[in-house]
Each structure stands twice: as C-alpha cells, then as structure tokens.
C-alpha cells in the first residue's frame, strides 16, 4: 500500500486534526511579526516618505499576487483527493502544474510591471517622493513574483499531504531570514527602502528553494518526465475549472469586504479608524481558525478521493468541532481582552471609546462566522468550487441591499450588522448544499 493510501485509510482523530491545524496557527502568527518589523525598521529612518512607500508598495504587490491565491486552495483540494485515491503520481503532477502556473504568472508580472505599477499609482496617487520610493521598492520586489506565487501551490500541496509542520518551517525560515536581512541591510548598511525590498526578495526565493526541498517526494524524476500526465487535457481542464471558480468567488468576497471599508469612511475619521482597529480582531480570527479549515480541506479531500462517505462525514464533524471550540474561545477572549487590545492598537481617546462601543460585533463574529469558514474548507476539499461560486453570488444579492440599508437606519452598528448578515448567508447558502454533497461521496 502506498503512502497516499496509508494517509487516506488512517482514522480521523482529534489528535490528527490538531497535528494539521496547530502548525498552521503558529505559522500564521509569524505573519504580523514580519509586518511589524518592516514598519519598525523603516520607521527608524525618521522620515514619513519611506514608511509610506513600503506600505504602499506592499499593498500593491499583495493585491496583484492575491489574484493567484486560488492556487493554494485549488492545489490543496485536488492533491488531497489524489492522495485519498492512492494516486501519488497525480498528486505530484498537481503540484508541478501549480508551480508552472506560478512561474508563468510571475513572468507575466515581471514583463508587465511598469504598466501595472503606473496604473496602481494612477488609482492611488501619492506624493512624488513616496511614488519614487515605492517605485524603487516595487522594481526590486517584482523579481520575486514567480517564487511568491509558486509558494501558493507548495503550501496547498503540503496541507493536502498533512505536512503542515513543513508550512511552519517554511514560514519561520522566510520570515526569520527577512527580519534578519531587514536589520542588516537597513540599519547596518543604510540601504533604506531598497534594503527592505532586497531582504524580502532573497527571503522569497530562498523560501521557494526550501519549499521545493520539502516537496521533493512529490517531484520525483518519474513525475517530472511524465509529460503525458502533466499536460493531460482533462486534468488541466479540471484544474482550470476549480481554480477559476475559486477566483470568481474570492473576487466577490473581497469586494464585499472592500465595500464594508469604503462605506465605513462615510461616518468620519474616528469611526473609520475605530473600524480599522476592530478589523484587526477579524484578522486575528483568521490566523487562529484557518488551521481547522485547512484540516478540513486535507481530510475531506482524502475521503472524497477514497470514495468514503463515512470518512467524509467524520472529517467534516471532527474538524468543525475544533473550529467551533476555537471560535467560542476567540469570541470570549475578544470580549474579555478587547479593551486592552484596542488601547494597544491606538492611543487616540476618541477612537478608543468608539471601538469599545462596537466591540460586541467582533466578539460575536467568530461564533457567527465559523460555520461558513468550515464549510469553505469542506467544499474546497471536495473541489465543489462551482457550488462555492454560485453560493457567493446568491450571498452578494442579499448582502448588497443589507449593506445599503442597515447603515442608513443604524449607523456604524448597521454596517457591522450587515457584515454579520454576510457571514450568516454564506453559511446558509453552503449549508443547504451540504447534504447533497455528502450523499455524492462514495458509499
């Protein structure tokens, strides 16, 4: 029996779920640390322009790279199913296809970067000095595009193979190296904004090299040489379909959250600032609970590949139990420690007071949202991405009018209430499809 078959046949236990989820939680925890160090190091330069330029450049690149974030989810679901079916060759081919997409997308960004960055500056103009420094930062960082996008596929594959300790090692290496080089290049050598960009570029490519080594069992000579499998039209068409549906769904979801932020700006600077502070709680929620949704992707995908309905149900139930426990813990922690966290994030008295007044919404958010987040993981693992896309479209039809009307009646409370509606309707639209999904899996 192959390693893939062993993984699929292994009993789904609470320990197994935690073994997948906890490294992801720890991995996610390193992300804000890197951002804080980047900000702190550039802040030591004593000028506003470099700080603004690094922030602006990072957001621009994150926006462009985010378009290909579907590679992480699509690779995870497809590779987990191949593992469950005992087809290790196809699991490796899925990784290789994802890496090829990442390389080609990164090459496209490099070739078009001047046009893309000019468009970004046109949409979000800044001072001449900030744009100059941001252009320097972007001009260096763009050479890491193939590595960054390729790492989406590597991360998804490691999750599917239940090698999330590898994801943790990868993040610790990349972020640790980035931080060390930041300190050396900027504070030691005085390279300024360019030093921050070079540090990240080196970390990205070294991360890709480490990621390929961690995935070496899926990139054997036989798989690399099997061009007929790698470029099989049916398999490529399925990959395109799965990833395309995820991209459309993600664009709609991102638009929903962006609309929330933009509408919040109508209530004035204090409210806008308070909402920004409170949104950090949702970011913390994502870091804390992503691991359980990722565990659902891996275990559900394997059950689907193995054609095991009982395994599917068990994977969905056990991962969701841990997700629910984590959501309740997050909500209680936000309610109890929220005022202290708010004071840590801002010193402005009015913003502090306003954020406290709306704290209850972010305390409820994890409990309200956990169902849709876990269902996302389940449907990604099952690669039922068309259902996800359609459900998100229906959700938007409900969320749009709610977002338009509730803030008019209830102010910023109405804005947060609309966001809760988004989470609830996402859960309902996917939840009603779950029974049919379970029935479709094996026997």
pLDDT digits (tens, 9 = 90+) for 66-115: 889 899 999 999 999 999 999 999 999 999 999 999 999 999 999 999 99
* Orientation of helix 70-84 relative to helix 233-264, angle to 10°: 140
> CB count, 10 Å around CB of 312?
27
* Rounded CA separation 346/329 (Å): 24
What DSSP line would sit under 5-36, residue for residue? HHHHHS---HHHHHHHHHHHHHHHHHHHHHHH
Residue 41, pLDDT above cutoff 80: no
Mean pLDDT of 25-44: 74
- What is residue 193's predicted lDDT score, i.e. its pLDDT? 87
Q: Quickly state the pLDDT bin for 257 (edges 50, 70, 90).
A: confident
Q: Any idea where the domains of the chain sit in the sequence?
A: 1-231, 241-443
Contact in structure between 147 and 205 (CB atoms under 8 Å): yes
* Rounded CA separation 46/377 (Å): 44
- What is residue 1's predicted lDDT score, i.e. its pLDDT? 35
pTM: 0.90
H helix runs in 221-232, sequence order = 221-225, 227-230
- What is residue 55's predicted lDDT score, i.e. its pLDDT? 78
The pLDDT tens digits of the residues spanning 427-438 come to 999 999 999 999
Residue 51, pLDDT above cutoff 70: yes
The answer for residues whose C-beta is within 8 angstroms of residue 158's C-beta and 6 or more apart is 164, 166, 167, 170, 211, 214, 215
Q: Which of 252, 264, 242, 251 is nearest to 422 (CA)?
A: 252
Contact in structure between 380 and 422 (CB atoms under 8 Å): no
Q: Quickly state the pLDDT bin for 36 (edges 50, 70, 90).
A: low
Widest CA span in the chain: 65
- What is residue 35's predicted lDDT score, i.e. its pLDDT? 66
Q: Please give the angle made by the CA atoms of 126, 38 and 275, to the nearest 5 degrees.
A: 65
Mean pLDDT of 292-312: 95
- Worst-scoring range by mean pLDDT, 1-10, 139-148, 347-356? 1-10
Q: Quickly state the pLDDT bin for 50 (edges 50, 70, 90).
A: confident
The pLDDT tens digits of the residues spanning 404-420 come to 999 999 999 999 999 99
Q: Which of 419, 279, 411, 396 is nearest to 342 (CA)?
A: 279
Tokens of 175: 């972020």
Mean pLDDT value across the chain: 90
* Rounded CA separation 146/205 (Å): 9
Helix, strand, coil abundance in the chain, percent, nearest 5: 90, 0, 10
Contact in structure between 91 and 83 (CB atoms under 8 Å): yes
- Worst-scoring range by mean pLDDT, 4-18, 192-206, 207-221, 247-261? 4-18
Residue 265, pLDDT above cutoff 80: no
* Rounded CA separation 425/317 (Å): 21
342 versus 319: which is more confidently predicted? 319
* Rounded CA separation 101/82 (Å): 19
* Rounded CA separation 277/273 (Å): 6
Mean pLDDT of 42-70: 80
- What is residue 9's predicted lDDT score, i.e. its pLDDT? 56
Distances, alpha carbon 13 to alpha carbons 2, 140, 161, 308, in Å: 21, 46, 16, 16
Tokens of 143: 């050479």
What is the percentage of the chain residues whose pLDDT exceeds 70?
96
H helix runs in 307-384, sequence order = 309-345, 349-357, 359-381
Residue 5, pLDDT above cutoff 50: no
């Amino acid at each position: 029996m192959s390693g893939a078959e062993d993984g699929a046949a292994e009993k789904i236990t609470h320990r197994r779920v935690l073994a997948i989820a906890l490294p992801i939680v720890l991995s996610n925890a390193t992300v804000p640390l890197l951002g804080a160090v980047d900000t702190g190091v550039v802040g030591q330069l004593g000028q506003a322009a470099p700080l603004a330029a690094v922030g602006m450049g990072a957001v621009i690149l994150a926006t462009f790279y985010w378009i290909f974030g579907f590679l992480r989810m699509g690779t995870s679901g497809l590779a987990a199913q191949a593992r469950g079916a005992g087809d290790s060759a196809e699991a490796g081919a899925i990784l290789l296809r994802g890496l090829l997409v990442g390389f080609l997308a990164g090459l496209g960004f490099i070739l078009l970067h001047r046009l893309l960055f000019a468009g970004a500056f046109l949409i979000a103009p800044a001072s001449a000095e900030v744009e100059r420094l941001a252009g320097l930062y972007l001009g260096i960082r763009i050479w890491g595009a193939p590595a960054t996008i390729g790492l989406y596929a590597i991360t998804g594959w490691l999750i599917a193979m239940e090698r999330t300790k590898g994801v943790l090692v990868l993040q610790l290496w990349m972020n640790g190296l980035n931080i060390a080089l930041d300190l050396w290049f900027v504070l030691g050598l005085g390279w300024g904004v360019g030093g921050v960009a070079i540090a990240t570029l080196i970390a990205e490519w070294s991360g890709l090299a480490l990621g390929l080594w961690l995935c070496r069992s899926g990139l054997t000579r036989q798989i690399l040489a099997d061009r007929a499998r790698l470029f099989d039209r049916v398999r490529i068409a399925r990959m395109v379909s799965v990833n395309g549906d995820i991209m459309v769904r993600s664009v709609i979801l991102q638009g929903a959250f962006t609309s929330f932020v933009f509408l919040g700006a109508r209530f004035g600077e204090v409210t806008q600032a308070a909402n920004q502070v409170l949104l950090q709680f949702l970011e913390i929620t994502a870091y804390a609970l992503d691991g359980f949704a990722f565990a659902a992707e891996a275990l559900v995908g394997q059950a689907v590949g193995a054609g095991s309905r009982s395994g599917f149900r068990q994977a969905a139930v056990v991962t969701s139990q841990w997700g629910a426990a984590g959501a309740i813990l997050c909500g209680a922690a936000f309610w109890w420690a929220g005022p202290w966290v708010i004071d840590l994030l801002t010193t402005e008295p009015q913003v502090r007071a306003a954020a406290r007044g709306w704290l209850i919404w972010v305390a409820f958010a994890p409990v309200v949202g956990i169902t849709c987040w876990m269902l996302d993981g389940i449907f990604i693992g099952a690669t039922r991405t068309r259902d996800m896309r359609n459900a998100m479209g229906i959700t938007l039809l409900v969320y749009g009018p709610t977002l338009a009307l509730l803030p008019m009646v209830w102010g910023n409370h109405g804005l947060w209430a609309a966001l809760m509606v988004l989470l609830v309707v996402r859960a309902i639209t996917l939840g009603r499809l779950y029974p049919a999904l379970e029935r479709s899996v094996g026997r």
